[in-house]
Structure 1
Amino acid sequence: MQESQTHSFQKHALTEIFNRYYWLQIGLIALSIVVGIGCSAWIIKGSLLKTALEQEMEHYWSRVARDPDADLPDTKNLYGYRWNTRTPPQQFRNMHLNIGVNRIWVDGKERMTVYGEKNGQHVLLVFGESNVNKLVWLFGLAPLMFSLFILYSFLWWSNRRARRYFSPITRLANALEHIDWAHQKTQASPFQDIYTNGNMEAEYLKQALEKYHDVLSEFIQREREFTGDVSHELRTPLTILKGNVQLCQARYGQDKVFTRLNNTIDDMQLLVDTLLAIARNTTQHIASEQMLLSEIIDDLVDSLHAVSQSKGMQIYVQQDTSEQLRNLYPSMTKMVLSNILRNALNYSQGSEIQIIQQKHSLLIADNGIGINLPNDAKVQELKSTALGFEIKGHGIGLQLVEKLCKQLGWRVELFDREYYMSIHPELNLAANTGLVVVVYFY
């Protein structure tokens, strides 16, 4: 568990942000070092050396003024050539020299030189640039590398201190995010192995989270025990009812009323199991079946026949002729569609309901008074928080329909009927007032 928390901590957003800024600082510092060395070399070569060579030339001409036979400079970094107009050195005979500081090819290398001419005497001073490059890198780079080492050491130390401060908080947040509530009864507190390293704020936060975890775990346990008791209490009368109906069928024969009662009890048992599975968040254990959606629709229409007759409404079904088997959860599918149909029967105040089955969707349209969608919209996704109003309907209600559709991976949208018919004229439905509910299957 501790290893998984550490692995998750390394991927935590706060840690990634911290590491990003840390390496950004290092990159900027390295860039500043390179720019600094480049600027230093440019200043030394482009300005200081040029000025120094010009001054060396002026100094040499002043020596020649005092002593016409003055020797040329001959040091490790500076040497020169002198000739008269008639006898230039062989390597300079075909070369055009400009007065002042220039870079020319001398002695097999391109070197920095200064050229001057007075009274028929030509002087070319050559600077030993390679030696100065060594001095630039030695006295320029070495101090910068030393300062970089000191600065990186401080950044490393500050990073360690910051990690020590943030690490417990990020690990606490990550542990809270990854609590397995389905098996929390058999597991210890996810916060007990997180060490706060003397961080008082993190220690207080850890204690508060442990108390919150204990309270919430007890609440979840009580809720599970309650749903288990409810499940038992609901199944008992349904079992008794089913047994009595079967006795009546055995005694009085297969009457249509008994058959309907028996089917209704089966639906109720399936409904109880599904609702309890949703309450316990164990819907993955509900069995799915390969079946036709039209079979569920026909059963619903048949079971709602008495209601539609009492309301004076007709239900018309248009099936998909190319329908194929689907992987469906019968109980959950029945609950969603039954709730939508019963709401249309009870509250639309129309004369008919049309069910149109399509390849990837199911359309349920009524010709009643419709509803006012939020902000005068013509279409709205079925979300209780987004609609801004409550629909008082039969059965499990709007919020549970929304939750069931989320579990099934479906999407439900509400349309103003006139608007929907204007964008789908191929359906051949009258553009009356009313509501169109479209269930999209994925």
Structure 2
Amino acid sequence: MRTRNGRTRRKARYRRRLRSRIILSFVIFGFGLTTLIATTAVYLRNRVEDQVISAALTKNNNVFAEGFYRNPDAIGVPFEKIQGRQFSTSKLDRVPEAWRDLTNGVHEITERDPLTRKERVYRLAVRKDPQYWFFLAYDIAEERESQERLNRALIGSVGIFTLLSALIGWWSAARVMSPVSELARRLRASGDSTEPEQLSAHFPEDEVGQLASALDDYAERLTEVVQRDREFNADVSHELRTPLAVIKGAVELLLSRPGIDEKTQARLLRIQRAEAQCTDLISALLLLSRNERGHGATDVQRVAEQLLDAHRTQLGGKPLVLRTEGGTGLVVDAPEAAVNVALGNLIGNAVKYTTQGEVVVRLLDNAVEVVDSGPGLSAEDAARLFERGYRGTHAEHSLGGGIGLSIVRRLCRLYGWEVRVVPGEEKGVVATLTFSAGGG
């Protein structure tokens, strides 16, 4: 359930991201377009204005110079915004200092009035002849003010159009994402039933309808796979339980006969333990395949002692001590088969890879530790130990397919337990199986 809720939250987050991306795209498009238009308008206005003013000043300055040559007694050409002045090259000291070094052409001059402390901005057309210098000044203060007004208006228009683009983007995103949101809602609702609802019937033949049809097809194929898997697990469980029941009955019958020698009795007991182990494993795998949590009141200490007794008979002369530590009273709300498989894999690995020393099963308040004195754990083993099919570096030619710990991990996910395998303080490995609050 936690995983499905996690996927639901991720889908909602991705849906919000898509909606945000649509709105952001409209905002960026609106801002970029209006900014481009405003920048282009300002650039063209300034360029045309400069060309017009420069051409007018140059033309009028030439007219002013030609008029002076025709009538040298003229003092100047005063206008409301244009002022013309000429200076003889013999009296260049009268030329304003800011004008003296200017070349022929049109220049923009900014001066501050010493009395009013106000800035004066004007364009100055310069014509320097061998005998006379001609200057024609054009006051552009009004043009500068109108340009600033235009800039403020364009900036305001950029903000308004960007806001308008955001509103259009929000509206468009709501319209675009509405079918997707409806599809996600129906998909979540159909996940609670064993027979998923047909989604494509609720959507038109557009992109969302095609997606709904593809999801219907995928759900149908997935349902078939799950159904076949459940049927297979049920069939296997049923078919295996029958011969195991026969083996169990035959062993019990043989053990009840008097006069059995010790060697035969030991072999029969070994067969009996193998049968019990297979039965527990089948029960645990059936629970995993159904994703169902079984219930029970399993005494962990009793299970641990039974597992250690079973392994003692299989040591074959290996100098290894198997013992338990800790108090009693740890009871887990789970079938004994599940606890047997989970704890049995941890103990079995410890016994398999420890050549000498001891394997200690330590019972804690809400957990079990399996501590061995084996060769330890490499960094690669610690990272990949619970991968299905992975066999540790110390496995060598030992039997096993590397799926025992992966089954333990799946059982822990099903029952809310935790399993951890780390290197020991000095040597060996410490495997910890922690049960959920309340003993499972």
Give the TM-score normalised by the residue count of structure 2.
0.55
Q: Report if aligned partners of 1:12, 1:174 keep a CA contact under 8 Å in 2.
A: no
Distance 2:419 2:361 in 1: 17
- Counterpart of 1:113, as a letter, is Y
Q: Which residue of 2 aligns with 1:208?
A: 217
Question: Counterparts in 2 of 1:168-247, with a 5 A limit?
Answer: 180=191, 184-185=193-194, 188-189=196-197, 191=199, 194-199=202-207, 201-202=210-211, 205=214, 208-209=217-218, 211-212=220-221, 215-216=224-225, 218-219=227-228, 222=231
- Counterpart of 1:282, as a letter, is E
Distance 1:34 1:230 in 2: 76
Question: Structure 1 residue 126: deviation in Å?
Answer: 1.0
Q: Which residue of 2 aligns with 1:278?
A: 288
Distance 1:142 1:340 in 2: 72
Distance 2:218 2:126 in 1: 88
Which residue, out of 116, 133, 146, partners 1:131? Answer: 146
Question: Structure 1 residue 355: deviation in Å?
Answer: 2.6
Map Cα deviations across residues 239-267 of structure 1 (whole Å, 9 max, x no partner): x99xx9xxxxxxxxxxxxxxx9xxx9999
Distance 1:9 1:193 in 2: 26
Map Cα deviations across residues 94-134 of structure 1 (whole Å, 9 max, x no partner): x9754631234578865531246897997542111223455
Q: Report if aligned partners of 1:57, 1:116 keep a CA contact under 8 Å in 2.
A: yes
Question: Counterparts in 2 of 1:303-342, with a 5 A limit?
Answer: 303-308=310-315, 311-313=316-318, 315-317=320-322, 328=332, 331=336, 332-342=338-348
Asked if residue 300 in structure 1 is aligned to residue 313 in structure 2, the reply is: no
Q: Which residue of 2 aligns with 1:101?
A: 108
Q: Report if aligned partners of 2:346, 2:370 keep a CA contact under 8 Å in 1.
A: no
C-alpha distance 335-232 of structure 1, shift in aligned 2 (>3 A): closer
Distance 1:56 1:313 in 2: 111
Cα RMSD of the aligned pairs, angstroms, is: 6.3
Which segment drifts farther, 54-63 or 219-228?
Answer: 219-228
Q: Which residue of 1 aligns with 2:24?
A: 23
Question: Counterparts in 2 of 1:67-106, with a 5 A limit?
Answer: 68=74, 72-74=78-80, 79-80=81-82, 97-98=98-99, 100-105=107-112
Distance 2:134 2:400 in 1: 113
Distance 2:26 2:240 in 1: 61
Q: Which has the higher contact order (CA 8 A, sep 6+)?
A: 2
C-alpha distance 286-405 of structure 1, shift in aligned 2 (>3 A): same
C-alpha distance 374-224 of structure 1, shift in aligned 2 (>3 A): same
Asked if residue 362 in structure 1 is aligned to residue 370 in structure 2, the reply is: yes
Distance 1:197 1:362 in 2: 60
Distance 2:218 2:56 in 1: 78
Asked if residue 57 in structure 1 is aligned to residue 57 in structure 2, the reply is: yes
Map Cα deviations across residues 331-384 of structure 1 (whole Å, 9 max, x no partner): 333322323444666x669466423649885323458xx99x999x79751322
C-alpha distance 211-50 of structure 1, shift in aligned 2 (>3 A): closer
Question: Structure 1 residue 152: deviation in Å?
Answer: 9.6
Identity across matched positions, percent: 11
Distance 1:101 1:25 in 2: 41
Q: Which residue of 2 aligns with 1:251?
A: none
Question: Structure 1 residue 196: deviation in Å?
Answer: 4.0
Map Cα deviations across residues 192-242 of structure 1 (whole Å, 9 max, x no partner): 6641434574475255236425635654775687699789989999xx99x
Distance 1:348 1:148 in 2: 69
Distance 1:220 1:190 in 2: 23
Give the TM-score normalised by the residue count of structure 1.
0.55
Distance 1:299 1:123 in 2: 113
Question: Structure 1 residue 281: deviation in Å?
Answer: 0.8
